Structure 1
Amino acid sequence: MTRATAASVRFDEGDLDLFAAASHDVNPLHRSGEYARRTAFGERVVFGVLGALAALGRLQPREGRVLAKLSVEFAGPMFVGVDYAVDVDESSPERAKVKLRDGRRVVLRLTARYRDGDVPDAPQWTAPLIARTESADHADEALVPGIAMQGRYSAEPVALAMLMVRHELAERGVGPRHAEALLLASYLVGMELPGRRALFSDLSLDFEAEHSLSTAPVDWSLALDSVHPEFGMLSMSLSTSIEGVSAARAKLTAFARQELPHLSPDAIESAAGRSERLLGKVALVTGASRGLGAAIAHALALHGCTVIGTYLSSSTEAEALASRIASTPGGFIPMQGDAGDARWAAEAREVIVAAHGRLDLLVCNACPSLRPLWLEPASAQRITEHVARSVAMVAVPLSHLLDLVASVQGSAVVISSSAVEDPPAEWPHYVAAKCAVEALARVAAVEHPGARVMVVRPPKLLTELVNTPLGRQDALAPEDFAARLVRRLLEGGGASREVLVDLSDAQNAK
């Protein structure tokens, strides 16, 4: 037995599809791209238990031994298309440790213990038994200690067999019933408790019997032992049996993610006020379907502005925003498109000129989703790609539309970040991108003296970017920052090369 770094592991869309088919875990964080884009992750997340199966598959073969105990820490999210390094520590035939890493950042830790025995052939299961086809959605107040659930479960046999072969689990002492227990844990967390908002954190499993030839489904009992409401953390106990004989016992820990509410129209109006001072003015706000972009669009419309709000794929949110803005003095026109696409920007210019004949305000707010990355070889390409994508989402609108703004002595706003002043670890790509777009704005002010060009650095805002238990602390509501920005725009001021604008609360009290 040795200690080594094995070949990397990479997941693709087919892996997620196969796991979902085998486990019946169709939690939208893993299955719905549209849903995942509205979370802090920005895209579909790989099932944690799928990562555990892949980690087990990187162990050396264990002839004459079967899995007895397993503990897994799901330390960070995993994504499709990323090469994760695999560190294996096999100090003895009875014990093994595996880590999956994205560079220096560990995303999964696994410890497996084995006992003497042979992995049996898979039983010929009958049709699978499941309870849900959509994740349960429990309110926070309903998640209280003492909740107990029972049911029957069996994995989809064909997909399970394919998973077993895909990761060569039988050769590693992992039988079909072991794998099925892992799939059950994923199903219960993702579909039952916490359900829709689940983030799996930790799992420990003790296998008590093989049940090798039984074709019966698994009877399970799940109990919620404790809840830590400040973090949304749930600790649960799971026991399973097959034909009345105890099969496994487990401890599960998961978080119930807090989903941000829709922006409050009343809160925006209370902060930004209402008038008709911008009647006849036309604005384009990129990334306007949610978060700060939606708050800025709404605040502008409250003062009579006609706002063209761009979105990439969040059509539901864009339509909901249009409905909320309908009662304001202004208006909202959703426009789908990629702010970093020059062809789209050229077409948008034609539409704006034909429909409105002018553009008074351009707000460059759109930016890519953000993953934590370190400055290291494993991340270099992704850092470069993020910066390039971020710059394009500002450079393209400025290049195609700023002359229209300058022709009417309007304003252009580039949304930067306070992270430029206090760079956080794991955000080198984000900070570099914001520094770059600030530089673009400075040059834009020189090239287009007829426009008022502003760079603003929002503090930490309560958006999906920081939507974690710790990240939400001391975060400013986007409605409040949008109100500060619109109040500053209403002050006027004309063209200026002094592009960095301080919107601190002390200087912008209502």
Structure 2
Amino acid sequence: MTGLRVSVGDVVDFGAASGDRNPLHLDREFALRSAYGRPVAHGALATIVALGLAADREELARVVELSVDFDQPVLPGLTYRVRRSPRGVEVRLGELRVLTARWTLADRAADTAPAAPAARGAGADRPGPPPLPDGGGPRVLGLAELAGLVDESYAYRVDSAALAELLSRGAAAGVPDALTGPLAWASFHTGMRTPGRDGLLVGIRLRLTGARERPAEVWSCRAEPPLVHRRTGMVTVHAELDGAASATLTLVSLLRRQVAAPTLVETLGTLPRSNALAGRTVAVIGGGRGLGAALSCSLAGQGARVLAVSSTPATALTREASAERLPIEPLTCDARDPEALTTAFSGVALDGLVLAAAPRILSLPVAAATVPECVDHVADAARLVLAPLAAAHELLAERAFVVFVSSSAVLEPPAAWPHYAAAKAAIEGLAGHLARHRPGLRVVVARPPRMWTEMTNGPAGAAGATPVGVVAGAVVRHLLSGPAASGRPDVLGPDALSGP
């Protein structure tokens, strides 16, 4: 069993060599808004490295069929276990399966098996990054646009010398060009063309029908119109390639749906608009998007002046506040920094504080490789609560309310989320501490059911999820009608937050 580790530099180099410059891999700001909260490695890169670690060149030269399934993203900087099986390789993080590749071998290596790309000399000519056939960045396609696509034929260029150099750093130099070329194209076509920017590659089926004596940098490709499943967002592409080998491929990906910004209208079915909180000032930490933005809208819909704190400008919330004439004041501020928050709250008397900010949730099972990430997650989550509490502690009116946003995962923690369950349990511990030592405050712990937000916008993020507006309306309705302060947190479970 060996270890697979991909660096940020490896991801950048693979993007340049393959042409897959999808921002989920290369743009930190874009990836920050995804379910992963950071750039992730190309699945094709992880596959090629895993193949190189698990098998030698002679064996890989006999591969005639390859089937790859992606269950989880590969995160740069983590070390994954590579486990060889009789017919393939499996990549795991602890007990969590991340990637599986299965192959079928020919009886013997073809007489014309592709040769390794020539080493790049110091002054050798090198092609630039392969451009999109129609130029520009990745296509942004919805279900309707995908369903209207026709056959696509174009020439695909891979920088095989740069790719060989990259793979030699990861002990994967033995993977032949007949495999690396089609895998690089699969990454490019999915991430840049179909589905494009919002696609997640979940499976590759590759069949080699012939090989050449020399590696090729230019491949001719023809992709059939994609098959689109509108309910699930699954996109299937059948294609043919010809270059260092002749190959047929089937690519399966899932289209990430766009999460609409929360609006006041979403909360009105649970809580009609009123002036019940007129004259009150409430700070919402993490109030720029997701549940925090929905809580900002719902509180303002009851007449409260809302200070919506977010780490980046909350443009969608600002538009909603203007359209609905909501008394929301977006504040761009690092919620982890108590001094910055103290400055932002200067001269303000607070009647309420909502702690809705949280770090992104990654699948991190208990394993030696994940310990630093898990500890960092718990610390970051605690900091996003403690820093606002420290800044607002002296500003909270005697009968103010403080809402701690926890999760139903405290009751039923997913197997791959020990860090998340621990972080939410720690936050609930802070709620208990505040309620005991500031008995005049009304402390509420909200444990929402699963919601569909940018943080949970994975392949099946919307299926069965409770709208954030419904949860926000239920929380604010409870604040208006629930019991007074008791010296203990008032816990709202998932059932109480799923709507009337």
Q: TM-score, normalised by structure 2?
A: 0.88
Residues 60-75 of structure 1: matches in 2 within 5 Å?
60-63=55-58, 66-69=61-64, 70-75=66-71
SS at match of 1:397: helix
Deviation at 1:45, TM superposition (A): 1.5
CA contact (8 A) 2:57 2:176 kept: no
Distance in 1 separating the partners of 2:279 and 2:81: 56
2:15 to 20, 23, 27: 20
The number of residue pairs the alignment matches comes to: 487
2:330 to 317, 334, 337: 334
Distance in 2 separating the partners of 1:362 and 1:456: 13
2:48 to 25, 37, 53: 53
Structure 1 partner of 2:121: none
1:309–1:151 CA distance, 2 compared to 1 (3 A)? same
Q: Deviations over 1:393-448 (max 9, x none)?
A: 2122223313321x342111111112222333222222222122112111101111
Amino acid at match of 1:292: L
Residues 209-248 of structure 1: matches in 2 within 5 Å?
209-213=210-214, 217-224=218-225, 226-242=227-243, 247-248=246-247
Report percent identity of matched pairs: 30
Say whether 1:353 aligns with 2:356: no
Amino acid at match of 2:180: A
Uncovered stretches (5+) of structure 1, i.e. residues with no partner: none
Structure 1 partner of 2:485: 495
Say whether 1:120 aligns with 2:111: no
Distance in 2 separating the partners of 1:229 and 1:508: 26
Deviation at 1:468, TM superposition (A): 4.2
SS at match of 1:239: strand
Structure 2 partner of 1:35: 30
Structure 2 partner of 1:392: 383
1:387–1:195 CA distance, 2 compared to 1 (3 A)? same
1:68–1:497 CA distance, 2 compared to 1 (3 A)? same
SS at match of 2:262: coil
Structure 2 partner of 1:82: 78
1:338–1:65 CA distance, 2 compared to 1 (3 A)? closer
Distance in 1 separating the partners of 2:475 and 2:428: 17
SS at match of 1:86: strand
Amino acid at match of 1:205: L
Say whether 1:174 aligns with 2:176: yes
CA contact (8 A) 1:30 1:47 kept: yes
Say whether 1:255 aligns with 2:257: no
CA contact (8 A) 1:189 1:200 kept: yes
1:169–1:212 CA distance, 2 compared to 1 (3 A)? farther
Deviation at 1:24, TM superposition (A): 0.9
Deviation at 1:202, TM superposition (A): 1.3
1:351–1:27 CA distance, 2 compared to 1 (3 A)? closer
CA contact (8 A) 2:15 2:21 kept: yes
Distance in 1 separating the partners of 2:354 and 2:58: 63
CA contact (8 A) 2:334 2:340 kept: no
Structure 1 partner of 2:136: 133
Deviation at 1:469, TM superposition (A): 5.2
Amino acid at match of 1:308: L
Distance in 2 separating the partners of 1:246 and 1:86: 27
1:215–1:185 CA distance, 2 compared to 1 (3 A)? closer
Deviation at 1:185, TM superposition (A): 1.1
SS at match of 1:25: coil
Amino acid at match of 1:174: P
1:38–1:329 CA distance, 2 compared to 1 (3 A)? same
Deviation at 1:184, TM superposition (A): 0.9
Say whether 1:107 aligns with 2:98: yes
Distance in 1 separating the partners of 2:116 and 2:325: 70
Deviation at 1:79, TM superposition (A): 0.7
Deviation at 1:215, TM superposition (A): 5.9
Amino acid at match of 1:181: P
What root-mean-square deviation, in Å, do the aligned CA atoms of Structure 1 and Structure 2 show?
A: 2.8
CA contact (8 A) 1:33 1:44 kept: yes
Say whether 1:143 aligns with 2:135: no
Residues 190-205 of structure 1: matches in 2 within 5 Å?
190-205=191-206
SS at match of 2:303: coil
Say whether 1:10 aligns with 2:15: no
Distance in 1 separating the partners of 2:172 and 2:411: 49
Deviation at 1:142, TM superposition (A): 3.3
Distance in 2 separating the partners of 1:410 and 1:328: 26
Q: Deviations over 1:101-138 (max 9, x none)?
A: 11111211123436244542537886656314311122
1:178–1:456 CA distance, 2 compared to 1 (3 A)? closer
Deviation at 1:60, TM superposition (A): 4.5
Amino acid at match of 2:235: L
Deviation at 1:375, TM superposition (A): 3.1
SS at match of 1:373: coil
Deviation at 1:9, TM superposition (A): 1.6
SS at match of 2:39: coil
SS at match of 1:26: coil
Deviation at 1:149, TM superposition (A): 1.4
Distance in 1 separating the partners of 2:220 and 2:214: 16
Uncovered stretches (5+) of structure 2, i.e. residues with no partner: 119-124
CA contact (8 A) 1:121 1:212 kept: no
Distance in 2 separating the partners of 1:225 and 1:309: 42
Distance in 2 separating the partners of 1:263 and 1:417: 19
SS at match of 1:34: helix
Structure 2 partner of 1:450: 440
SS at match of 2:147: coil
Deviation at 1:214, TM superposition (A): 7.2
CA contact (8 A) 1:154 1:180 kept: no
Distance in 2 separating the partners of 1:110 and 1:506: 44
CA contact (8 A) 2:409 2:421 kept: yes
